[in-house]
Structure 1
Amino acid sequence: MPDWLSILPPLLAIVVAIWKKEVVLALALGIWMSESLIVGRTMTGVESAFVAIPESMGQGFIEMIDRLVSVFEDGGNTRVLLFCLLVGMLIELMQVSGGVTAFVKRMTQMGMADTQRRAGLLTMAIGVLVWMETSMSCLAAGMVGRPLFDRFKLSRARLAYVLDSTCAPVSVIILLNAWGGYILELLEKGEYGFEEPVNVVMSSIGFNFYAILTLGLVAYTAISGRTHGALRRVEAEESEAETPDEPSKALPDHVKGKAGHMLIPLVIMVALMVLFLMRTGSGSRSVLYSVTVATVIGVLLLIRDRVFTYREIIEHGYRGMGKLLPVVLLMLLAFAIGASCRELGTGSFVAGWVGSFLPLWLVAPLLFICAGIISFTTGTSWGTFAILIPVGMPLGAAFGLPPGFVLAAVLGGGVFGDHCSPISDTTLVASLASGCDHLEHVRTQLPYAMTAGLGTILLYMAMGLFL
């Protein structure tokens, strides 16, 4: 089977998602094609394509089902999916108890969220401060940002952009989190001859131009209040529409919201996230453990203050989980297509194709572009790092480039591809946390990501001429 065929499944998923605006259908078709190609390359003794194609497609459909089941064999995947369901319950309880409404009211009274600009900056600040884990950062900032953006009639698409373009760039810059531990593990396993891999990771921060430019664009949007491209058109269409204030709408007449019903579980969740991350070294474990404890604490607070009965809490909890089931399904499919494309060799083909023509001054720009393409087509920045760091680090050493410079190009490209991809799990979480339609989020964020990406490529070209 020609290697170039490995690029077709993710491309099919992306084209169908954009064309039909049905992400579930797009991902399912992508997985089916990928599994059919995997089956097809192992078939022997088939004389005619008219026999081989139907047979491989039939077997590929069965393999697609097995691939979806195998997602749960990875503990990290299962923990992330459970985490999403529990977060749905926690968010619902915070909203219907009036905790989010009370917190927003207090922030407004303190003058920290009494204008559009301050509402945007506060949301961005929470995303920056909760830097330990990308999903946690998105969800924490989203819980605060949703009622604020609704109050000032700012679109959910703008909120999704602020969340997505703050949380992942911050995580890949600070690196005192699961991202940093994962990257260090990749560098240590690769045996590239670094005496102190941690120094390489730290030196990459200043060269991570994509993350820096992306955060700058978010700050510009929050401070100026201006939007551009598809996001501007969406905001113009929604400017006259009434956006429901979900927490207030769901608040029973007898309930007086307390900010503590949101703040206490949220602070506990973030604090335990740090402790569990230090203890386990696993991002998926730490987020699941911390949100579980935070949910239990939140339930106990509501029972203590007689906000809801136990039965009402269960009903609200199920309702919150139900709201996130579509996102859980999308993440399940995203995990499956990522694993299938890795087995098919999509990432290796893209890396080898781009790496076949590299003059010195184009090493970093093309590594950035290659990482972006891999991340875009597979929907995973971490998978991109695993594919491209073993390719990029020796390549950079052969050209005499600083390892931190090369590493930054790979890391930034992975995040860039995530921001552009409709099948990325981080993009899905941002859509979930903001309550924005997923494809609308991808479409409105794309011009900003492309702007930061183009600026990054130009900076890497300029740096390559002088290093």
Structure 2
Amino acid sequence: AAPVCIIAPISSWAAAVSGFAGEGENGLALFIRAIPFNFYALFTIIFMFALVFMKFEYGEMSKYEKAVQIMNEPADDEDDIQGKGTVFDLVFPIATLIVFCTLGMIYSGGFFTPLIEGEAEGEMAANPAFHNFIEAFANSDASIGLVLGSFAALIITLIVYGIRKVLSFKACMLCIPDGFKAMVPAILILSLAWTLKAMTDSLGAADYVAGVVAGSAQGFKNFLPAIIFIIACFLAFATGTSWGTFGILIPICIAIFPVGDVLRIISISACMAGAVCGDHCSPISDTTIMASAGAQCDHVKHVATQLPYAISMAVISFLAYIVAGFTHSLGTVPSCLISFAFGIAALAGFLIVMKNRVKK
């Protein structure tokens, strides 16, 4: 789930990352440009589908899979669930949330606001009444758009559930406080991350690191994306939060590289990818804790089975960032294609070798 969140423009993760952008810079546009270089997230998603289709596991997970095959216990009888819930009641709120969050974001970007005469002649020619969709999406305020979209989706879902008699009004109202409680850790993490960012800014940490890099790091400048990825991994692992890692490293990446530099985009992507990787490996991460709790499995065993997969993708991503660092001078698109192709080739080779090893 985390790799999907970190490459989804319409998400609270995107809003958090966008908030750390430099002054006068479009944070959402910066986030979108960084998506193709988020190798850990992209490779992890591809990796999971490959494991499913190739039908094998390795590491601690393979031991538990073999144990299940040996036991071969029949499935427990399903509980007699009383209610009228269907798949529609699961899909509808999610689809409604996506639609209204998208509408909320372009609304905050001025898409539905009539253009002032002479404001943008090019846009007026293309659309004489309203702002351009892409321009509105790029200029949107993700925090406002997500709040408006979530609130609209909540109201509509409550109405639909009431009409279909899936949940009573009282049951729906009891669910709302539980939702607020579930968001408290995320709100605290984000608030503390902003506090830490403000503190490091006041101490001049970003300026100091930028000066050190400018003065002595020219020799390994091409290795910086890979180095940032590793630092983000250990930082997120130690703290158990990817959002806090964003708050520490992204402002430093922005201070080191000038606007328009390809390494700026690659380094920010490396920071986000490393933060998610460290989050996957950390036993104190909130996402890892929720995953084991949701699956109702032992937390330590969940971490042990997940760790080999996360480390494997981390190594391949690290190598891809080295390639991206050395090919950045070719431009954004060529560098992305070359490094991504290298990563896919490394991933394919790794899967073939591991499958043969598991068979033996």
Do they superpose with TM above 0.5? yes
Q: CA 1:290–1:227 in structure 2 vs 1: closer, same or farther (change >3 Å)?
A: farther
Q: Distance in 2 between matches of 1:259 and 1:341?
A: 38
Task: State which of 86, 91, 96 in structure 2 corresponds to 1:268.
Answer: 96
Residue 372 (str. 1) matches residue 233 (str. 2):
yes
Q: CA deviation at 1:222?
A: 2.3
The answer for the alignment partner of 1:184 in structure 2 is 18
Q: CA deviation at 1:446?
A: 1.5
Q: Distance in 1 between matches of 2:13 and 2:192?
A: 23
| Higher relative contact order, structure no. (Cα contacts within 8 Å, ≥ 6 residues apart) | 1
The answer for the alignment partner of 2:340 in structure 1 is none
Q: Distance in 1 between matches of 2:156 and 2:59?
A: 39
The answer for the alignment partner of 1:403 in structure 2 is 264
In the TM superposition, 1:66-465 aligns within 5 A as 167-189=1-23, 200-239=30-69, 240-244=72-76, 248-252=78-82, 258-276=86-104, 278=106, 279=108, 281-282=142-143, 285=147, 289=151, 292-293=154-155, 296-297=158-159, 299-303=161-165, 310=168, 314=171, 359-397=220-258, 402-465=263-326
Q: Distance in 2 between matches of 1:251 and 1:221?
A: 33
Q: CA 1:390–1:231 in structure 2 vs 1: closer, same or farther (change >3 Å)?
A: same
- Specify every segment of 5 or more residues in structure 2 that has no aligned partner in the other structure, as ranges: 109-140, 329-360
In the TM superposition, 1:28-67 aligns within 5 A as none
2:38–2:270 contact (8 Å) kept in structure 1: yes
Give CA deviations for 1:257-314 in whole Å, capped at 9, x if unaligned.
Answer: 64434343443344334344555732873685366336523541443xxx67x59x74
Q: Distance in 1 between matches of 2:91 and 2:193?
A: 41
1:341–1:378 contact (8 Å) kept in structure 2: no
Q: CA 1:458–1:292 in structure 2 vs 1: closer, same or farther (change >3 Å)?
A: same
Q: TM-score, normalised by structure 1?
A: 0.49
Q: CA deviation at 1:181?
A: 3.9
Q: Distance in 1 between matches of 2:21 and 2:85?
A: 49
* 2:19 counterpart letter in structure 1: E
The answer for the alignment partner of 1:113 in structure 2 is none
The answer for the alignment partner of 1:104 in structure 2 is none
* 1:213 counterpart letter in structure 2: F
Q: Distance in 2 between matches of 1:343 and 1:263?
A: 37
Q: CA deviation at 1:451?
A: 0.7
Counterpart secondary structure, 2:102:
helix
Counterpart secondary structure, 1:187:
coil
User: What's the RMSD between the two structures over aligned residues?
Assistant: 4.3
- Specify every segment of 5 or more residues in structure 1 that has no aligned partner in the other structure, as ranges: 1-166
Q: Distance in 2 between matches of 1:287 and 1:231?
A: 39
1:229–1:447 contact (8 Å) kept in structure 2: yes
Q: CA deviation at 1:226?
A: 1.8
Q: CA 1:269–1:441 in structure 2 vs 1: closer, same or farther (change >3 Å)?
A: farther
Q: Distance in 2 between matches of 1:463 and 1:301?
A: 53
* 1:406 counterpart letter in structure 2: S
Q: CA deviation at 1:374?
A: 1.9
Q: Distance in 2 between matches of 1:284 and 1:420?
A: 29
Q: CA 1:321–1:429 in structure 2 vs 1: closer, same or farther (change >3 Å)?
A: farther
Q: Distance in 2 between matches of 1:299 and 1:455?
A: 45
Give CA deviations for 1:133-184 in whole Å, capped at 9, x if unaligned.
Answer: xxxxxxxxxxxxxxxxxxxxxxxxxxxxxxxxxx322333342444334433
The answer for the alignment partner of 1:136 in structure 2 is none
1:377–1:421 contact (8 Å) kept in structure 2: yes
Counterpart secondary structure, 2:283:
coil
Counterpart secondary structure, 1:232:
helix
Q: CA deviation at 1:249?
A: 0.8
Q: Distance in 2 between matches of 1:463 and 1:227?
A: 29
Q: CA 1:410–1:213 in structure 2 vs 1: closer, same or farther (change >3 Å)?
A: same
2:253–2:264 contact (8 Å) kept in structure 1: no
Q: CA deviation at 1:368?
A: 0.6
Give CA deviations for 1:305-348 in whole Å, capped at 9, x if unaligned.
Answer: xx67x59x74x986x899x89x968x756876887798789x97
Counterpart secondary structure, 1:251:
coil
Q: CA 1:426–1:385 in structure 2 vs 1: closer, same or farther (change >3 Å)?
A: same
Counterpart secondary structure, 1:249:
coil
Q: Distance in 1 between matches of 2:295 and 2:156?
A: 20
